Structure 1
């Protein structure tokens, strides 16, 4: 039963991520974490670009979009199993499965699979 619930939560997070525009995802992440943190995750130097993405004035490069969509999907997965406050804290805190790096920093460093594995472990109560 537990596995089915997690699989459903993963499917919901994936579907939600696929249905959102990059402007909506950038806006959500900016409101949740800050413009500066979103720029770091996206791998850009100018945080003001994030504001332009939020307003659909321009779009991020492909690699930046992948990072933003990954951060959003992982956040939504953890939020689905917990709540938005815990998901935010989990995303910015040190994680022993990620060599004490935060999930957001690991995403910025392109460790997508490792972050998703850490999120699944957290939700299963392994950490």
Structure 2
């Protein structure tokens, strides 16, 4: 069962994600993970597109935007309970709750609910 603090952290992460432009989110993810990793996350072959998104020169397709926003929201949630370095490591590391897949790869594979559930479990100390 979630505590009031955990629910508030999720609400903040959700609100923050909704308030950011896709350019802001692409820039943030690019800075944290690299253009190449964000391109894989988004499901595109040309990593330079990520830089274009970050500059606001164009926007990703809908499915890519959903993946980017999901990654940002989950990152912000984990960061709220830890710090940015731990959140980055958690996002790129193997996760037993995701069949040893990284949360970033699981998001790239459209397993959004599973990743959010894994983040909640991690923050609750279950994993």
Q: Show the counterpart of 1:109.
A: 109
Q: What is the SS of the residue equivalent to 2:94?
A: coil
Q: Show the counterpart of 2:79.
A: 79
How many positions carry a matched residue from both structures? 126
Runs of 4+ in 1 over 2 A off after TM superposition: none
Q: Deviations over 1:53-76 (max 9, x none)?
A: 001110000000000000000000
Q: Show the counterpart of 2:3.
A: 3
Gaps in structure 2 of 5+ consecutive residues: none
Q: Deviations over 1:61-100 (max 9, x none)?
A: 0000000000000000000000000000000000000000
For 2:9 and 2:118, the matched residues in 1 are separated by 15
- Written as runs of structure 1 = structure 2, the 5 A alignment for 1:9-28 is 9-28=9-28
